[in-house]
Amino acid sequence: MGVCRKTAQTAGLQDQLTGALIGLARATSGGQPGESADRAMIHGLFATITNVNFDNDSIRGLIQTVRAEKEKLSPNCSSCANPCQRSDDYDMNLLWQEPDEDVRSLKSLLLFGLRGMAAYAWHAMTLGISDETVNRFFYRGMFAVGWEAAASDLLPLVMECGEVNLRCMELLDSANIGAYGDPAPTQVSFTVEEGPFIVVSGHDLHDLYLLLEQTTGKGVNVYTHGEMLPAHAYPRLAAYPQLKGNFGTAWQNQQKEFADLPAPILFTTNCLMPPAPSYADRVFTTGPVAFPGMAHIGEEKDFSPVIKTALRLGGYREPRCLTGINGGSGTTTGFGRHAVLNAAGQVVEAVKSGAIRHFFLVGGCDGARPGRNYYTDFVRQAPEDTLILTLGCGKYRFNDLDLGTIAGLPRLLDMGQCNDAYGAIQVAVALADAFGCGVNDLPLTLVLSWFEQKAVCILLSLLHLGIRNIYIGPTLPAFLSPGVLNQLVEGYALTPTSTPGEDLKKILG
């Protein structure tokens, strides 16, 4: 059983789905994939991300859909009397048992990067935004995973995945801002008011918007959870008075935090853990998320069963003043790239005057394994003349801390989730332009926490941009072979984290 608690059977079906997607990619040589094939490719990849789809029947349905799309591109292939194997499904055991560890490592990097990028492409597609370059790369990348290639052929494709993912994140950034407005700094309370409510997890803003529309006038409040926290900063979402605050902390604490919850929970994307019996009857899924026995809201997006459950359970009888991991009663989010760049002048002057000595981007995924307190300790120990940017679920380790201000700005600026990394990159590029230097010459260090596939594609985008001296931990990805790791260390100075004190001393001198 894997770290996300999927059974061996489910993992095997996910391998079959991945093999079918490679077969679909192979079949594109015989025809031009259309919108339905693109959707099947992106949905299938997204469904194999950690903590998304645990439902065997759902995965079997996706396999059938993918094979049907392949049949459109290669008609009668399965009944051909002269099989050429050019559009066969791929046997994933060939990858996991690949004798060349560098080839296995690079193919894994590419596959996991494609899975992460699929999440961003899915959300943009939901808002009506897609890009032919991005969509075509999914097929090229998946074809390469099933290709007998040398490591020297794969490394450029892995770096290209980072380039294409940057474009994909740009699309999503544009789609979210176009639909819901430019994020603005917003104080978010952790207090839950009395009365019926719904908790929404994941980061599909469109699902949240539809839920807010459907709860209007129903006497049901809505609270974000986990990756949905940044939604409060979007003006068109924040305008709904029933969007009240944020419930709970990071994804890995949900089984404890949801145990006695008198409300339903709606999962819109990943970070679903197997629901405990104490609240399993109150879990709803939608989109790519599925779990056996859980109620699933289909493409019609009728959330009335969720709303009825909220009204039936009734919520808390009086307000609950919840806190973050460090005891804080709330947090501030919404320091998107426009909000930060609007203050670029004072930031530049603060650096020139010495008021700001260094910038840290402390972000990435979170998890339950020991060692992740490193990030809380790092932020606590960072000197008062340093400014900290953060994004991703890792911020729940410290986002309720009051670190004071610097140059008229809070020292801790929450830029959103992993899908908001494009904005952080644009801030770095803009600051480099303002100082007339390269990004690597800025007093900026990235300190990233590692967990799942979206972290892979963002890391690849950073490496594509040539960003060096990235600290990553608390452990390095297990699928990185020594040979590939050495290339990343030598080429990009990728550095494993040690202790906060030692790393801060090394960075700041």
Q: Using CA atoms, how far apart are residues 284 and 198, in angstroms rounded to an integer?
A: 11
Asked if residue 400 lies in contact with residue 376, where contact means CB atoms within 8 angstroms, the answer is no
Give the torsion sign (CA, 33, 38, 39, 40).
positive
Question: Is 227 among the annotated ligand-binding positions?
Answer: yes
| Helix residue ranges per DSSP H, 242-303 | 254-257
- Looking at the DSSP assignment, which residues form a beta bridge with residue 363? 448
Nearest to 241 by CA among 264, 265, 212: 212
> Is 203 annotated as belonging to a binding site?
yes
And the tokens for 231? 């939604």
Is 393 known to sit in a ligand binding site?
yes
- Structure-block tokens of residue 268: 């819109």
Angle at 153 between CA 140 and CA 130, to 5 degrees: 25
3-state SS, one letter per residue, for 108-119? HHHHHHHHHHHH
Q: Is 452 annotated as a binding residue?
A: yes
Please state, in angstroms and rounded to a whole number, the distance separating the CA atoms of residues 74 and 480. Answer: 35
- One-letter amino acid identity for 103? V
**Do 499 and 471 meet the contact criterion of CB atoms below 8 Å apart?**
no
Cα separation, 212 vs 205, in Å, equals 10
Q: How many Å apart are CA 278 and CA 353, to the nearest integer?
A: 56
271 is in an annotated binding site: yes
Q: Angle at Cα 119 formed by Cα 489 and Cα 53, nearest 5°?
A: 110
Cα–Cα distance, 215 to 103 (Å, whole number): 51
Q: 457: annotated binding-site residue?
A: no
Residue 43 annotated as part of some ligand binding site = no
Q: Which residues are annotated as a binding site for hybrid [4Fe-2O-2S] cluster?
A: 203, 227, 271, 365, 393, 418, 452, 454
Annotated binding site: which residue ranges? 203, 227, 271, 365, 393, 418, 452, 454
